[in-house]
Amino acid sequence: MAEAKRKAKKPPEKLFNTADVQASRSAMLAKPNVLVKMIKRAKNPVLITGGRLLEDRRLVDYAVRMHDSGIAVIATGASSKLFIERGIRPDACVFSLHYITQFLLDESWQGFRGKPYDLALFLGFEPYYLSRMLSALKHFSKLTTVSIDAFYQPHAKFSFPNTLDLHHEMLEEFVSALGGGSIGKKED
């Protein structure tokens, strides 16, 4: 482990698959403390988790801490099992990210618990799959999308830079800054 850390290298911040090009904006880099402020301002933020949680249990730790700070969780890619093992019942378990994206695109959707989501954080996805879903949300919805994955996601509104081996450190910084609190409890 120490060996791996020693070798961990900083990848280029904003590189993504170079052929996944769009004419419109690419994501602004999300600094952990700015992100925390954004989340605290949101009315009903939600964390959407993907299949990579099955391979990287530390992502589950961070997701649980985000949940504990008051952010709702939608688990996809079978990541729900890991939350349930820790006594957390996500808002939804059975719908894949494709379904969730379709639902989020519909302004009339009231979320899984009767309240629309206004900010979505994405963690633990195949980069190319998340990229497409973020592209759908960018072009056809007003939702604020934030990728907190290991790879920079140009089609999100905000994204972590490429962190790869330094991903956990970035998440630690973000989740610590998030702390406990009153996220998502604001009224209209």
Partner 1 sequence: MGFELREGMFVLDEMRNVNIKIGRVIEEEKEEKEWEPAGPTPKPHILDLRRWDRKLLERYEPIYAPMQDFCNLCTMGPCELSQNKEGACGIDLKTQKARLVTIACLIGASAHAAHARHLLEYALENFGHDYPINLGSNVNVEAPNIRLVCGIKPEKLGHLEEVLDYVEQGLVRVLHTIHTGQEEDYLDFESKAFEVGMLDHVAMETADLIQIAVFNYPKGEPDAPLIDIGFGVLDTDKPVLLVIGHNILPARNIDDYLREHGLEDEVEIAGLCCTAIDTSRYDPKAKIVGTLSYELRAIRSGIADVVVTDEQCIRADTLRECSRLGIPVIASSEAAARGLPDRTDENPDVIINDLVSGRERGVLIRDPDKVGEIAVRVAMEMRRKKGRKPAFMEDGELKAEIAKCTACMGCVFACPHNLRIDRAMSAAKDGDFSIFKELEGSCIACGRCEQVCPRDIRIVDVIMKSSYDSLVSKTGKMRAGRGPIQDTEIRNVGQPIVMGTIPGVIAPIGCPNYPRSRKEVSEIIEEFLKRKYIVATTGCHAMDLGMYKDEEGKSLYEKYPGSFDAGGLVNCGSCVSNPHISGAAIKVANIFALRPLRANYAEIADYILNRVGAVGLAWGPYSQKAASIATGFNRLGIPAVVGPHAAKYRRALIGKFWKKENWWVYDIKSKKRMNVEPCPDALLVAAETKEEAIVQLARLCLRPADTYMGRQIKLTHYIDLSKKYLGCLPDDWHLYVRSEADLPLKMKDELLKLLEEEHDWKIDWQKKKILKGPIRMYDSGFNPTILEEVFDKYSR
How far, in Å, CA of 76 to CA of 98, rounded? 9
Using CB under 8 A, pick the residue from 32, 70, 116, 127 that binds partner 1. 127
C-alpha angle 91-92-96 in degrees, rounded to nearest 5: 145
Question: For residue 55, what are the CA distances in angstroms to 14, 16, 60, 61?
Answer: 24, 22, 10, 13
Q: Does the protein bind partner 1 through residue 58 (CB under 8 A)?
A: no
Report if residue 164 touches partner 1, rule: CB under 8 A: yes
Does position 23 interact with partner 1 (CB under 8 A)? The reply is: yes
Q: Looking at 4-12, 32-40, 63-71, 169-177, which segment touches partner 1 (CB under 8 A)?
A: 4-12
Query: Coil, strand, or helix at residue 75?
Result: strand
Asked whether the beta carbons of 68 and 182 are under 8 A apart, the reply is no
Q: Residues in the site for partner 1, rule: CB under 8 A?
A: 7, 9, 11-12, 15-18, 20-24, 50-51, 54, 75-78, 80-85, 89, 92-99, 101-103, 105-106, 109-110, 112, 125-129, 132-133, 135-136, 138-140, 151, 164-165
